[in-house]
Amino acid sequence: MNASFTFGSANLKANESSELTIQIADGAGKPVTDFQVNHEKLLHLIIVNHNLSSFQHIHPTYQGNGKFTVSTSFDAGGDYKLIADFIPSGGTSTTLSQWVKVAGKEAEHTVLKEDPKLQQEVSGKAVELSLSSMKANEDVTLTFTIRDAQTNKEITNLQPYLGAVGHVVILSADAEKYIHVHPLEEKAAGPIAKFATSFPEAGVYKLWGQFHHNGEVFTVPFVVNVK
């Protein structure tokens, strides 16, 4: 199976909106026409830059005949990876990706370093992450604990995001490994949100937890080092 990613404008420039078309085809080049709904969408598109400092998770519109379209823009120049995540009907979870080059001033080329503490403050939320294992090829439970940053009160009224308590994306530092993550309790509403996954090999990984509260989706990034 393959995906072709094409942009409406020949030259991609930072901070300019461009129409992206994603065409999904089978091994023989025929359009794949049927997709399974996965977390309320037919296709999830993840866009990251070369040092994983920029992250987008958007949902192209299905136009039929294997074709999805979405308008997007890039906040700086440089290399970006586009990752299409979908399930063809009767098939299994599939991810297809491509790097694209965007004109403009690039974000710094920094080396991804693990977070000394797995605690972040985002959108007025204090979020703590714990992992049941930091070893490759083991089942890992990711546990997010979400509190109000000002009052330290546990948040117990998270709203569903894409049909679940949250959504987690994990990428290796070189963006070559995209890891599927599944919520353990889809109907949870906080303060605890648990997800199951495993890391295919040792190394540094960045993960983004996405949650929905008071009508706003907030994204919490963490960097971990897997032994």
Residues 187, 92, single domain; the answer is no
Domain identity same for 38 and 82 = yes
* Number of domains the chain is built from: 2
Tell me if 21 sits within 8 A of 67, measured CB to CB.
Answer: yes
> Same domain, yes or no, for 87 and 123?
no
Shared domain for 96 and 32, answered yes or no, is yes
* Domain limit, last residue, from 48, 68, 102: 102
Query: What is the C-alpha separation between 185 and 180, in angstroms, rounded?
Result: 16
Both 97 and 127 in one domain: the answer is: no
- pLDDT number for residue 180: 87
Decide which of 39, 67, 102 is a domain's last residue: 102
Report the pLDDT value the prediction gives residue 214, as an integer from 0 to 100.
Answer: 96
- Among residues 223, 226, 224, 221, the alpha carbon closest in space to that of 120 is found at 221
**Same domain, yes or no: 148 and 67:** no
For residues 124 and 28, state if they share a domain: no
Query: Does residue 55 belong to any structural domain of this protein?
Result: yes
Q: Does residue 21 lie in a domain region?
A: yes
Q: Specify whether 88 is located in the same domain as 8.
A: yes
> In the chain, which stretches have pLDDT less than 70?
none
For residues 82 and 143, membership in a common domain is answered with no
In three-state form (DSSP H/G/I as H, E/B as E, the rest C), the secondary structure along 120-171 is EEECCEEEEEEECCCCCCCCEEEEEEEEECCCCCECCCCECECCECCEEEEE
| 184 within a domain of the structure (yes/no) | yes
Q: Are residues 129 and 214 in the same domain?
A: yes
Contact 1/23 with Cβ under 8 angstroms?
no
57, part of any domain: yes
As a whole number of angstroms, the distance between CA 148 and CA 143 comes to 17
Domain that holds residue 19: 2-102
At residue 109, the pLDDT reads: 84
In a shared domain, residues 123 and 220: yes
pLDDT for res 93? 95
Decide: residue 179, CB within 10 A, 0-12 exposed, 13-18 middle, 19+ buried.
Answer: middle
* Separation in Å, CA 219 to CA 102, 139, 146, 161: 24, 24, 12, 11
Domain CATH for 164: 2.60.40.1930
pLDDT for 65: 97
Residue 10 is predicted with a pLDDT of: 79
98 and 132: one domain? no
What pLDDT shows up at residue 107? 85
Q: Is residue 109 part of a domain?
A: no
**Last residue of a domain, which of 102, 135, 154?**
102
